[in-house]
Structure 1
Amino acid sequence: MFTASEHAGQAALSICEALLLAMNDSGLLPENEILGVLLDAAATHENADGTDLEKENHRAVADLIKAILVGGNSVRRS
């Protein structure tokens, strides 16, 4: 069973993905800039400090962002 926090996280991810796609479609941000945003976000989580549990959570977030990059979910690549 999912928690309210997990639902909020999924909603936030969907909203951000839609915003990135809209920015690309409207020409506000080119694909390389969107990829840079995702790479920066992943790097921030990969380099985060904290307790072992916090670091584990940050690594999981970084892994998810990298999976989005590999899968091309947030950018329509031609």
Structure 2
Amino acid sequence: MPGQTDHAGMAALSICEALLLAINDHKLLPEREIAGVLRDAAAAHENAAGNATEMEMHQSVASLINGIMVGINPTGRP
């Protein structure tokens, strides 16, 4: 989301990403479960309906989530 100015949303995203990384690092959930949570969240946005502006926002959100998944699982394993 270029030009994102929603500070609360950015903070929430950073916190969630940090929590997922900590859950992964401390082996509290298997990597495949964390990847599944992220896949489900991305799919919800990829399949969302709306006008052109809303669709662009949903696709952008899905891309961000998929980027987080790569950061948590750099090998690309499902």
Into which bin does the TM-score normalised by the smaller protein fall?
A: 0.7 to 0.9
Q: Report the RMSD for the aligned CA atoms in angstroms.
A: 2.1
- Aligned pair count reads 73
Within-5 A mapping of 1:3-42: 3=5, 5=6, 7-42=7-42
Give the fraction of aligned pairs with identical amino acids, expressed as a percent.
63
Which position in structure 2 is the counterpart of 1:49?
A: 49
Asked whether 1:69 is paired with 2:69, we answer yes
Where do 5+ consecutive residues of structure 2 fail to align?
none
Deviations 1:20-72 (A, max 9, x none): 123223433111100111111110000001111111100011111112223x2
Structure 2 CA distance, aligned partners of 1:35 and 1:55?
Answer: 23
CA distance in 2, matches of 1:64, 1:15: 14
TM-score between the two structures when normalised by the length of structure 2? 0.76
Measure, in 1, the Cα distance between the counterparts of 2:56 and 2:41.
16
CA contact (8 A) 1:24 1:31 kept: yes
* Cα contact 1:48–1:55 (8 A) shared by 2: yes
Offset of residue 75 of structure 1: 5.2
TM-score by length of 1: 0.76
